[in-house]
Structure 1
Amino acid sequence: MKRLKKSLVAVMVTGLLASCAKQNDTVEVEKSGLDIWPTINSEVKKDPEIERNVAELLAKMTLEQKVAQMIQPEIRDITVEDMRRYGFGSYLNGGGAFPNNNKHSSVKDWVDLAEAMYQASVDDSLDGINIPTMWGTDAVHGHNNVIGATLFPHNIGLGAANNPDLIVKIAEVTAKEVMATGIDWVFAPTVATVRDDRWGRTYEGYSEDPEIVKEYAAAIVHGLQGTQGDNFLGDDRVISTVKHFVGDGGTVKGDDQGNNIDSELDLFNIHSQGYVGGLTAGAQSVMASFNSWNGEKIHGNKYLLTDVLKDKMGFDGFVVGDWNGHGQIKGCSNHDCPQAVNAGLDVYMVPTDAWKPLMENTIKQVRAGVIPMSRIDDAVTRILRVKFRAGLFDKASPANRPYANKTDLIGHAEHREVAKQAVRESLVLLKNNDNLLPLSPKQNILIAGDAANNIGKQSGGWTITWQGTNNENADFPGGSSIYDGLAEQIKAAGGKVTLSEDGSFENKPDVAIVVFGEEPYAEGHGDKENLVYQQGDKRDLALLQKLKAQGIPVISVFISGRPLWVNPELNSSDAFVAAWLPGSEGDAVADVLLTDKAGKVQNDFKGKLSFSWPSHPSKPVNRFDADYAPLLPYGFGLQYGDKSVLSNNLSEKVELDNGADANSYVFKGKTFAPWQMRLFSGANNQAVMSSSIALKGLEYRTIDKHIQEDAFKLVWTGLENAGMEFVSKSWFREDLSMMQASNAALVIELMRDGLAEQPVIISSHCESEGDKPGSCRAQVDITEQLNRLPDTQWQNLSIDLNCFAKQGLKYSQVIMPFAISTSGKANLSISDIHFAPEQGQSASIQCE
């Protein structure tokens, strides 16, 4: 019935008569729905020899071997011996996962792991078969998991550049750097058409309009894979993945993994054009999307995965799931989901320890007839077809391929030049009063803002770590900050440059360039209720206004993963540049902002908005809307000499949401600014920079509660007093006095596994000038209340803030709002730490 309703929508939109919906015309209505979708004429044709090889190999395989081809575990959850025993068809490294759990793993470390897994997969001594495995990785703006790699602007910036030829070059560079580490397969490109910029993955989309998306999808697939007859999937090419099928950019309110309620016609016209482009170019894999379409999860939607994608569009590669996405299907879990494979999923992406029970359950379900053997054979045929096309049966092992271990390819100078071109072409000039730009480098120029000399911030999410957080400039060898490029050119021209994050100076500058913007984030954590920039905490606006009040012309360089409502910041800027997330080559920004020594323009602005700039903080605006009223339209972008069109008195009025203040959160699936997570054991104190860390007496690891890595587990072994804490950036004092004034409680959502053997302590720490050492600390023993909670169930435990205040904690000067520690054995998982106003008197722990 649901499919009939979708088809009827398509029928009405296409102008067919309502009489077609009569009962005896039901079959015709079904055809009308599928008629929306084209049959793709892929550039990659079936090869009879490959098809024979696949059929012959398939006939030799046992059920266990076939199902193993469909299982994709994560490197943190399997060993080389697991690969030897089961012969998984593929494996992946998730964001923030590295060989040996080492963020700074060398190229050799990556290749060594690839070689070990490969050799184990072709060793038939245990599993009886020698099918080479594949390693998949999220190389979404360059080989972004690897230290020193060339990092390109995120897709939103590339959309502004609108240069398909450049996209091919970027993809070719990415493929080479990936091949240098022995990896075969990348989970790119993202071809979402983003319709609500509140979505935290907006920057992964090229545009709000499918026009650019379709062309770019073909370009990046060509660059990654090559073209048939031109080194297709050769030694310098990798398997590509168009993702996420389908509709992820159109969920209600931009909710990540939410519900897309578009008609079937809009699902095709708006959200599927990237697949038309990518599949025509020969993409060999498609990743299913987390989102739902009209309430049905895509991972379990047979109509879309099989009837549309495979049967009607003719896709003959394989469909891979997203991170335990099958577990979100109604009636499924991460361990058990026949619905997904029956719907058309070919490869389960199954990180964590769920891979083994899922594999065992799938085998049982085939034997019981729950999953038809024909569906298993189809899935494995598709997987083997791609492996033969990629030459994996004929290529040398990862360590012996032509590009393997070529460390000079990682961040090669020629690769960085391509990235610099992308940076220059992606910048969009939104405002330029009195033609303030370009600047002569011979002036006295102040460089301010916390993003000016911060390569991690300018690179955004999916940068070394999953969320792009906890990175320092030293993590980007060969890269450059925006300040680096400006300073080099200004000094070379005889000008004066001062770097001052807070905008202070000794000698008044001629002009100030302020670089500021969003903190890095990735999927699940970047969603916003509205598009107001720095709502409730206008630090960057205060900096702009301070400089303006001193009579200093201000140029704003805005770092962001989406257009944001920045009317106050625009009003306080004489010039405003949308720099998006430029990646590792920040120095190229100077090539556009500054003239040469002779005063000539080096590079004019080329970037044009591929996303409309919002005039309202919570109303989505997209090209061709019936009531289209953006602040700046799709395609806008000034060049030098153009007259600014923006008023200097834009409305700054905005109605703030009545929901919970985000500043009350310490942790909720992610660490909230300004806090940083650290682990301690005895005298050892270590920042959390990866997804798993082991100290003496304590083991830490991220886990999944609702979405990928939205919680963490702490396991105390009793060998040392140890724990976890959240501290302010640079240990600056933070004012949380409003929380105390609102009679708040500290709320922790946690789950224990077993009783705590020794006292479990929650503590907080502040610092005030003149305080005696240790006098501004407080702690609460939660052991009794903790051990009363039901085992292995998520529960809230809350503490009245007066418990800390009565011990001398000054909430106006907090450095560490939360720490948890014990010297005994304990096992706790935590997903949420926040302050809840008006809940102090009802907290589970009171202090008289």
Structure 2
Amino acid sequence: MKRPLALLFGIIALGLVPATAQQTPSFPFRDPSLPMEKRIDNILSLMTIDEKIDCLGVPTAVPRLGIPSYGGSEGIHGVVQRGGGNQHRTSITTTQFPQPPGMGETWDPELVRRAAAVEGSEARFITQTPKYDRQILMLWGPQADLARDPRWGRSEEVYGEDPFFNGTMVVSFIKGLQSGSDDSGTKYWQAAALLKHFLANSNENGRTSSNSQFDDRLFWEYYSVPFRMGFLDGGAKAVMASYNAWNGTPMAVNPILKSIVIKDWDVDVISSDGGAVTDLVTQFKRYPTLKEAVVACLHAGINQFLNQYKSETREALKDGSITEAEIDALVRPKFRVTIRLGLLDPPDTVPWSKIKDSPEPWNTDEDKAVSKQMALESVVLLKNANSFLPLQKSSVKSIAVLGPLADSVHWDWYGGFPPYAVTPLQGIKAEVAPGVAVNYAADNTNDAATKAAKSSDVAVVVVGNDPTCGPDMAHAWNQDASTRPCAVPSDGREGRDRESITLEQEELIKQVYAANPRTVVILISSFPYAINWTQASVPAILHMTHASQDEGTALAEVLFGAYNPGGHLVTTWPKSLDQLPPMMDYDIRHGRTYMYFKGEPLYPFGYGLSYTTFEYS
């Protein structure tokens, strides 16, 4: 989403009244033995029209009846509770896993399920413990889009470029989030997954009025596959419509929301994205008034607005362009989610209700173990000439740890605050033998990096992108900032595509390598880079994505051989932009992904080495 997070989370906070906070009479909707639809019939019969309109927003709550909201929170690689907003809330630390491409690079669906189970459990804890009492049981994730082009600014949010691969990871994430690390057999969900962004939303520049053009075959065989798998195989019941149009029709009003997503895939909640309804008037010029845009969205099946359109909805009711019966039909499926989460049933019948009085889960050994395992499995060995790695502790007496990312762990737009964060420098210091000199320099100002490299047995250069596009961007999340070019051309983010895939910091690598050929490059990045010189020159290269709280620990254990890297790339890494079709060409058959890529890539989809040697016989 592109709208201010402070406003959005203020909206989410409205109407979040736990059922236990009020003395409410026993209504039929509280009887678990009744069929779900009968319970919802009772709810709707008791609601006023204003309460129904309120439930077209994120808080699907009826405080008067003691019906709580399940709320919402970002959560593609960890629960996001950074604080702020209209309520001036404090931040809550939560377990933070690598960005989704890194989770994908594990090629381990079961581990992805375990990570999502951690996230779901932490969301339950934050919702149910009196210390926090924030209703965040619908997590806005996983991201089921596809990384069709390495320039896409939000490819840092998706698992990879292959539809079946992405769908497999999406299904695992949903099952972990909703059913826990192992399916306990309970009918209740731990948390609810909301997939995003449907459909073909893989360009940032101009996304609020852009048109993704491709045929029905690509719809069925490529772009819709992870979503379909997520709904039919994973059991998700919620999705967010994307900003863009498909073949000329904006997704917020696209007929396929009803004809396929609701009818064929049995989805209950279809959310607009932030500001997308207004975009129908101001960007697409499709409707003359906001009221008409709101009505069109409701008729298309949207039943959750991220912004408030109460006055427009009331006006539409008054002039007959929408009816109360139609609003009932839109609100009804949202209460199915409420019931599946067990929010209307006695707590002793809902296994997840016990997650509230335990120690904060992100501080437990169990959650930390999943985080570390995910970090370890996500490391990809891109090059290892002459078995340069692993480094032998006994022979390394001094090591230079260099580069702008050597002593930091970067968060991204959709990451939270972790309980701890181990930088590469900290991880290496903890891993080396006692007495080893660790020489650090962030850059080569006054030859600091080259001097450190020359005086060390081995040099480790840690480089990559900045997921927030620089420190100024981290606090400038508004419409102007969200479309402003990043200061570094190869950086990207939500709202802005990358202008280059060249690693600007490769010059630092060249300087360090000239000073000490025993150089290891660690590329921590959200995206592919055309590191052609580095691949041809330095003896060893590792890749990892951002945002893992165990980043430094995992990298150090891989560097020194405590862990054998087994990660594999999830996208095709080109050698140059010349190998790619135009950004807005959505027909992947023109040269996108490993299926249709033309020429020789720098690294193919699925690439990844190991310290182990193999031979076929």
**TM-score normalised to structure 2 length:** 0.77
Q: More displaced, 159-168 or 131-140?
A: 131-140
Are positions 1:307 and 2:272 aligned together?
no
- Whole-angstrom distance in 1 between the partners of 2:159 and 2:278: 29
- Whole-angstrom distance in 1 between the partners of 2:599 and 2:346: 53
Matching residue of 2:437: 496
Are positions 1:408 and 2:360 aligned together?
yes
1:282 counterpart (235, 255, 271): 235
1:517 counterpart (461, 464, 468): 464
Matching residue of 1:242: 195
1:445 counterpart (399, 407, 419): 399
Are positions 1:326 and 2:273 aligned together?
no
Q: For the pair shown, which has the larger CA radius of gyration, 1 or 2?
A: 1
Q: Which runs of 5+ in 2 are unaligned?
A: 1-31, 83-91, 128-135, 281-285, 444-448, 469-491, 582-591
2:573 counterpart (610, 613, 618): 613
Structure 1 residue 439: Cα displacement: 0.8
Alignment of 1:309-708 (within 5 A): 309-313=261-265, 315-329=266-280, 330-331=286-287, 337-350=294-307, 355=308, 358-394=309-345, 401-404=353-356, 406=358, 408-442=360-394, 443=396, 444-455=398-409, 457=410, 459-464=411-416, 476-492=418-434, 494-502=435-443, 503-505=449-451, 508-521=455-468, 523-534=493-504, 540-595=505-560, 601-617=561-577, 619=580, 621-625=592-596, 627=598, 629-640=600-611
- Whole-angstrom distance in 2 between the partners of 1:569 and 1:388: 54
**CA 1:332–1:378: 2 relative to 1, 3 Å:** farther
Structure 1 residue 253: Cα displacement: 8.2
CA RMSD of aligned residues (A): 2.8
Question: SS at 1:135's partner residue?
Answer: coil
Q: More displaced, 403-412 or 505-514?
A: 403-412
1:152 counterpart (80, 87, 97): 97
2:37 counterpart (44, 48, 51): 51
8 Å CA contact retained: 1:151, 1:584 = yes
**CA 1:296–1:584: 2 relative to 1, 3 Å:** same
Corresponding letter in the other structure for 2:216: E
**CA 1:159–1:440: 2 relative to 1, 3 Å:** same
Structure 1 residue 291: Cα displacement: 1.9
Matching residue of 2:246: 293
Matching residue of 1:272: 224
Corresponding letter in the other structure for 1:279: F
8 Å CA contact retained: 1:255, 1:527 = no
**CA 1:229–1:368: 2 relative to 1, 3 Å:** farther
1:261 counterpart (213, 219, 224): 213
Are positions 1:140 and 2:91 aligned together?
no
Question: SS at 2:500's partner residue?
Answer: coil
For this pair of structures, how many residues does the alignment match? 513
Matching residue of 1:68: 54
**CA 1:172–1:491: 2 relative to 1, 3 Å:** same
Corresponding letter in the other structure for 1:377: D
Structure 1 residue 530: Cα displacement: 3.2
Query: Which protein has the bigger strand share?
Result: 1
Question: SS at 2:463's partner residue?
Answer: strand
- Whole-angstrom distance in 2 between the partners of 1:151 and 1:67: 35
Which one has more relative contact order, counting CA pairs under 8 Å at least 6 apart?
2
Corresponding letter in the other structure for 2:404: D
- Whole-angstrom distance in 1 between the partners of 2:401 and 2:540: 14
Are positions 1:231 and 2:186 aligned together?
yes
**CA 1:626–1:484: 2 relative to 1, 3 Å:** closer
Structure 1 residue 231: Cα displacement: 3.1
Matching residue of 1:720: none
- Whole-angstrom distance in 2 between the partners of 1:432 and 1:144: 37
- Whole-angstrom distance in 2 between the partners of 1:559 and 1:255: 27
Structure 1 residue 423: Cα displacement: 1.3
Corresponding letter in the other structure for 2:110: D
- Whole-angstrom distance in 2 between the partners of 1:496 and 1:641: 29
Matching residue of 1:194: 147
Question: SS at 1:486's partner residue?
Answer: helix
- Whole-angstrom distance in 1 between the partners of 2:604 and 2:502: 18
Structure 1 residue 505: Cα displacement: 4.2
Structure 1 residue 617: Cα displacement: 2.2
Query: Which protein has the bigger helix share?
Result: 2
Matching residue of 1:4: none
Question: SS at 2:562's partner residue?
Answer: coil
8 Å CA contact retained: 1:256, 1:524 = no
8 Å CA contact retained: 1:144, 1:463 = yes
Q: Which runs of 5+ in 1 are unaligned?
A: 1-45, 73-87, 91-120, 465-474, 535-539, 596-600, 644-848
Matching residue of 1:663: none
Are positions 1:181 and 2:132 aligned together?
no
Deviation string, structure 1 residues 651-698 (Cα, Å, up to 9, x no partner): xxxxxxxxxxxxxxxxxxxxxxxxxxxxxxxxxxxxxxxxxxxxxxxx
- Whole-angstrom distance in 1 between the partners of 2:366 and 2:604: 35
Structure 1 residue 550: Cα displacement: 1.6
- Whole-angstrom distance in 2 between the partners of 1:388 and 1:373: 22
- Identity between Structure 1 and Structure 2 (%): 24
- Whole-angstrom distance in 2 between the partners of 1:523 and 1:252: 8
